[in-house]
Structure 1
Amino acid sequence: MSAWKESVLDGNGITILLLLIVAFSLLQGWNRGASRSAGKLVFFLGDAVLRLVGLAISIPFTLWLSPKAGEWLSSVSSLPNRGLRVWEQMYYTVIKSLADFPLLRFAVLFMLSYALIVFMLRLLVSLIMGEGQGLIRSGKDRSSSLPSRLTGAGIGVIMGAARAIIVIALLFIYVSLNPDQSFSRYVEASPVYQQGAQAVIEPLSGKLVREKLPVFTQSVQEELNGIIQRKYEVIDHKIPAGIEQTAAHVVQGAETDEEKARKLYDWVGTRISYDYDKVTLYEEQRIWKEQTPQDTYDTRLGVCIDYARLYAMMARSQDLQVRVVTGRGYNGQGGYGPHAWNEVYLAEEKRWVPLDPTWAQSGNWFNPPRFNETHIKEQVF
C-alpha cells in the first residue's frame, strides 16, 4: 500500500487510473446495494462465461472453415481482362488479400463467427431464462440500509478489480510488444500494474504473450504489407498493348531473367525523366498528381513511384516476378527521404534482387553491392 501511495503522490497516471476504476466500482456498489450489486456481478460473471464458451466454439470452427474459405476465394479472385472501376479495385484487393493471407482470413472469419456464436448463445439463454434474466440483470431491491450498502460496496470492489485486471492485461500486451518504448517503462513504473501483471496475467498467459505474441505480430505486419502489394497488382493488372509491345521489343535477345530485367531497367531509367514540377507542386501546395503507368509511358515523366510502377508493369508483361518497394532513400546530404524502387525475382538464381530505375542515370543501381546502405525498405508491393 505504501508503494501505491508513493506512486499516486508521484502522479503516475497508470496507478491513478487503475485505482479510480476500483473506486468507481465501489461507489456503484454502495449506491446499488446488495441485491442489485449481486445481480450485476452474476450478470458480469455469466457474460464472461458465455464469451469463453463462444471462444471455445469459434476457434476450432474457424480453423476448420479458413482453408475451405481460402480455396473458394482463390476460385473467385481472378481479375477480368479490362479496366476496373474504383469499387471493383477495392473489391478485388480485399478478395485477393483474404485468399492469399491465412492470418488475415482467420482473423476476419474468427471475428464474424465469434460475434454470431455469442449472439446465438445470448438468444438461447434469453429464451431459456425468460423474464428471470431481467431480474438477474437489474434486480428489484433498492434497499439503502447500511449492511446492504456495505455488501454492495464489497461486490463493487470485486467487479472493479476484475475491470482493472482487464486494463492491466491490455497494457501487458502493449508492453510485451514495445518493451523499449518510454510509455512501456512508464507503465512498468506503476506498482499496481506490476503486482497485477505478476500475480494474475503472467501465471495465466505463461510465456505466450512475451515470447509468441511479438512473433505473431511480425507475421501480421508482413501480411499487412502484402495487402498493400495486392493493391498495385489489382490497379495495374491490365497491361496496355503499347507498353507490352515496347517491353517485348526491349527484351529481344535476352535469354535469362537477369538479362530481361536489366534491359527493362536500362530502358525505364533512360527513357523516363524525373518530374521536378510534380514534386514542387506537392511540396508547396500539397497537391499530389496521381498517374498510371500508362501516363508515365506517354509523358515520359514521373517520380520514383511512377518509375517503379511502370517498370513493374513492363516486367510482368514479360513473365518476370517483380515488386514495388517503398521506403527511404539516401538524399546525398546525410539524410533519407521517401523513395520507391523495385525487386525482381531471378528464377535461374532463385533469389530476389533490388534495382532502382529512378537513379539509373546516376550510376549502376541494378543489384549493386551495398544497395541496402542507401535504401531502407519499409513496405513491399
Structure 2
Amino acid sequence: MRASDFAEPVAVAVVIIIAVSLWQGMKRGAPGSAKHLLLFLWETFCTIASLALAVRFATAFSPVVESRLMDADLRPPAGEMDNWSVAWHTFITGVRDFSLLRFGLLFLIGYLVIRLLLRLLAAAALTLAAGAGSMAGASRMRAYAAAPGGALSRAAGAALGFVHGGGRALVLMAALFVYVSLLPNAPLAARIDSSPLYRAASERLLEPVAGGVMAEQGPVLSRAVEAEFRRILQRRYEIIDRDVPDDIREAALRITAGAKDDEAKARALYDWIGTRIAYDWDKADAYTERGEWREQTPEDTFRTRRGVCIDIARLYAVMARSAGLEARVVTGLGADGRGGFGPHAWNEVRTGEQWIPLDATWAASGDWFNPPEFDRTHVRDT
C-alpha cells in the first residue's frame, strides 16, 4: 500500500483505532489488557449470537403476529384524528400488512432481548466466580489487575492492545461493508468503496465470509426497503384521507350520477380531474431545485385546482371512494419523456375482478385511462 493511501478516511480511522488501542494496552499493562480483550471477544460473540438468534425469532413469530393483527379490529376511529393517532394506525396496520416492517420490528425486539439476557448471564457468571474465591484472593487479583507492572507487562499489554485494535478495526470494516452493500447510493458510500484499505479488507476477508450474499442481495434488499417505506407513506395517506369533505363527496356523486357501471364511474372521475386540476409546476420546481415540499390535502387540491402527481392521485382516490369505488394510490416511476424515469404517482381502481390503472396527472397529454401499454411508462414500486 502506498503512503498516500493512508490519507484517505478509512485508513486514517483504522490507524487511529489501532494507535488508541496500543496506547491503552501499554497503560493497562498485561492483566488489564487481557481483561479488556476478553471482554471485547465476549461482546463480539454476544453480538453475532444475538443477530443470528434474532433472525430466527423474527422468522418464527412474523406469521403469528400477522395472523393476530389480521383478526384484530384496527379500523381507525370516526372523526378527525390527531397526529399521534394517525401515526399509530399507520404503524400498526403497516406491521400487519408489510412483511419487511414486521420482520424488522421483531428482529429489533429479539436482538435487544437476547442481548439483555446474555448480559445478565455474564453478570451472574462473574458474580458466581467472584464468590467462589476468598476475599483475600479477590483483593490480590484486583490489585494485580490494577497494577500495570514493569516494562515487560507494558510490552505485553501493548501487544494485546494491538490485537484488540485489529479486532476493533475489523468490526469497523464489517460495518462499512454492510453500509456500502445495503446503501450503495448513500452519503460517503462511494468514498468508502474507493478506499484501497477497504477494498482489500472486503475482497480478502468480508466477501468470502459473506459468500457474495451482501453484494448480490444488498441492493435488492435496499430497493425493497425503500419501496415498502413508500407504501407505508401511502397507508398514512389512506388513513388521513378516509374522511371525505362534503363538497368533494357531493362533486363525486354528481360527476358519476349517469354512469352505468364502475368502469364508467372511474372514467367520469378521470375525465373531470384530468381537465380541471392543473399541474403545479411551481411546487414541483421548489421541491426538485430547493428541496422544499408543501404538503396539501385532497381538499386543498380540490379547492385550488392545482397539485403535483401525488396530490392529484390522492384527490382521485378520495373522489372514487366517495362514488362507491375501491381505489388506491400507486407510487413508483413514470417516464419523463426524455428516455428516463422519475418519481411518480397514479391510481388503480377496481372494476369487477380486476384493478385497472389510470393517470389523471397525464390526462392533458393523451388518454391514460387503462391504455394497453401503461406498464411501459409506469413502473410501480414492488
Smaller-chain TM-score bracket: 0.7 to 0.9
CA distance in 2, matches of 1:173, 1:94: 26
CA distance in 1, matches of 2:179, 2:30: 36
Counterpart in 2 of 1:343?
347
CA distance in 1, matches of 2:283, 2:187: 39
Counterpart in 2 of 1:85?
82
Range with greater deviation from structure 2 (305-314 or 160-169):
305-314
CA distance in 2, matches of 1:370, 1:45: 58
- The one-letter amino acid paired with 1:173 is V
Alignment partner for residue 100 of structure 1, among 86, 97, 102?
Answer: 97
1:193-342 aligned at under 5 Å gives the runs: 193-255=198-260, 257-272=262-277, 290-297=295-302, 299=303, 301-304=305-308, 305-317=310-322, 318-323=324-329, 325=331, 341-342=345-346
CA distance in 1, matches of 2:143, 2:102: 39
- Give the CA RMSD over aligned residues: 4.0
Range with greater deviation from structure 2 (25-34 or 68-77):
68-77
Counterpart in 1 of 2:18?
22
Range with greater deviation from structure 2 (129-138 or 170-179):
129-138
Counterpart in 1 of 2:30?
34
CA distance in 1, matches of 2:329, 2:102: 23
1:10-159 aligned at under 5 Å gives the runs: 11-74=7-70, 75-130=72-127, 140-159=145-164
SS in 2 for 1:353: strand
Contact 2:179/2:189 (<8 A) preserved:
yes
Contact 1:4/1:15 (<8 A) preserved:
no
TM superposition score normalised by structure 2:
0.80
Counterpart in 1 of 2:359?
355
* Displacement after TM superposition at 1:253 (Å): 4.5
* Displacement after TM superposition at 1:15 (Å): 2.0
* Displacement after TM superposition at 1:141 (Å): 3.3
CA 1:229–1:141: 2 relative to 1, 3 Å: same
Counterpart in 1 of 2:176?
171
Structure 1 spans left out of the alignment, 5+ residues: none
- The one-letter amino acid paired with 2:297 is T
- The one-letter amino acid paired with 2:329 is R
Contact 2:332/2:380 (<8 A) preserved:
yes
Aligned residues between the structures: 371
Contact 1:308/1:340 (<8 A) preserved:
no
CA 1:352–1:26: 2 relative to 1, 3 Å: farther
CA 1:352–1:19: 2 relative to 1, 3 Å: farther
CA distance in 1, matches of 2:270, 2:152: 83
- The one-letter amino acid paired with 2:17 is I
- The one-letter amino acid paired with 1:157 is F
SS in 2 for 1:366: coil
Counterpart in 1 of 2:3?
5
- The one-letter amino acid paired with 1:86 is N
Counterpart in 2 of 1:366?
369
CA 1:18–1:276: 2 relative to 1, 3 Å: closer
Residue identity (%) = 35
SS in 2 for 1:77: coil
SS in 1 for 2:145: coil
* Displacement after TM superposition at 1:341 (Å): 4.5
* Displacement after TM superposition at 1:63 (Å): 2.0
* Displacement after TM superposition at 1:183 (Å): 5.4
CA distance in 1, matches of 2:293, 2:355: 35
* Displacement after TM superposition at 1:233 (Å): 0.5
TM superposition score normalised by structure 1:
0.80
* Displacement after TM superposition at 1:97 (Å): 1.0
Contact 1:343/1:354 (<8 A) preserved:
yes
CA 1:237–1:61: 2 relative to 1, 3 Å: same
Contact 1:275/1:301 (<8 A) preserved:
no
* Displacement after TM superposition at 1:184 (Å): 5.2
